[in-house]
Amino acid sequence: MSRKKELEIVQHTNMNHLEIFFVEMTARGPHGHDDLEIGVLLKGTVTLVLEQKSYILQEGDIYLINRHQVHSFARTDTDNLILAFQIHTEFYKQADYSLGFLRFENNIIGSGSLHDTLLGSLYECTGYYFKDVPYNALKCSSIMLDVLFQLACSTNCHVATEKESASAYHNTLRLKRITEYIGEHYTEHISLQDIASLENITDYHASHFIKKMLGMSFQEYVSGLRFMHALTLIRKTDLSILDICMETGFSSSRYLNQMFLKNFQCTAKEYMKMKEKPRLTSAALPTNNIQKRYTYEQASAYAKRLGTLSSKI
């Protein structure tokens, strides 16, 4: 099972500068991308982690994720549906070069007149995006520029320096390399020294970087990966506890049981015997990528519903 933190490469399939999609989220491991992301939680609740700070998004909430801002998503105990907009930086940098370094400090907009205005605009843009009409790209561009104007004028934001932006970019790339390496080797014996050697930095620097970016230690992150793998094996196989430890990288059942006690207040063996196995609902950090994107046909149908809603906002 592959679990990676990554710098996401966003593919703009319908319009060169903008991608809009609907996604049901189970888990999306920490990652960053070059695009500005704006999202609306259409249904349920979902956990959003932004640079170590955790938010429980409620239905109707609008979230903002800055360029190269490390973030992750995790399902709560309800089904959810997210409407996401990923906007290419070059789109709004052409209007003003400094906008390429714009960072929003209010990441969640849950209510108020700005919220209602933005929601109506985002729904309208979605309707045009999934409608086969002449010049729909021009209309979407117009709407999204106005959304950015409203956000820039009505929320706390600042223009980062080019040095700060470059640092964020390089930190995200470093994090991608580190988490990819861990994702490929966590079932083996892996140490902080391996990470330091990978990045040609000291052990202290590697430890500090991981703690700063993930909000947990190197060992906590590795144990989390192993635990999630073990949890899947217990649910889907008949392997023994010893075999599960060998398969996932735990050196003994003691450490596996520590993770089960921490998350479920029972040992792995006790969990294995349960007929109704409780699900993990409070993971500190998602470590895998499980999500379902709507097809174009499904998204088009849902966009029509949003068009009806936008007229009532």
Measured between alpha carbons, how far is 283 from 281 in angstroms, rounded to an integer? Answer: 6
Q: Are residues 67 and 136 in the same domain?
A: yes
Measured between alpha carbons, how far is 213 from 167 in angstroms, rounded to an integer? Answer: 13
Split into its structural domains, the chain has a count of 2
Tens digit of pLDDT at every position of the chain (313 positions): 444 444 454 444 568 899 999 999 988 888 888 999 999 999 999 999 998 788 999 999 999 999 999 999 988 889 999 999 999 999 998 888 999 999 999 999 999 999 999 999 999 999 999 998 999 999 999 999 999 999 999 999 999 999 999 999 999 999 989 999 999 999 999 999 999 999 999 999 999 999 998 888 999 999 999 999 999 899 999 999 999 999 999 999 999 999 999 999 999 999 999 988 887 765 556 767 789 999 999 999 999 888 765 554 4
Q: For the full predicted model, state whether its pTM sits above 0.85.
A: no
Domain with residue 122: its CATH number is 2.60.120.280
Q: Print the domain residue range for 171.
A: 163-273
Q: Tell me if 87 sits within 8 A of 32, measured CB to CB.
A: no
Q: Are residues 202 and 137 in the same domain?
A: no
pLDDT in the model for residue 77? 83
pLDDT in the model for residue 2? 43
Q: Look at residue 109 and tell me if it is in a domain.
A: yes
How distant, in Å, are the alpha carbons of 23, 45, 304 from that of 147?
21, 24, 20
Q: Are residues 126 and 190 in the same domain?
A: no
Q: Are residues 99 and 201 in the same domain?
A: no
Q: Look at residue 282 and tell me if it is in a domain.
A: no
Domain with residue 243: its CATH number is 1.10.10.60
Question: Which residues, in sequence order, are CB contacts of 8 under 8 Å at separation 6+?
Answer: 31, 32, 33
CA angle 113, 118, 123 (to 5 degrees): 130
Residue 240's region, left for phi above 0, alpha for psi from -120 to 50, else beta, is beta
Q: Are residues 108 and 171 in the same domain?
A: no
pLDDT in the model for residue 3? 46
pLDDT in the model for residue 283? 52
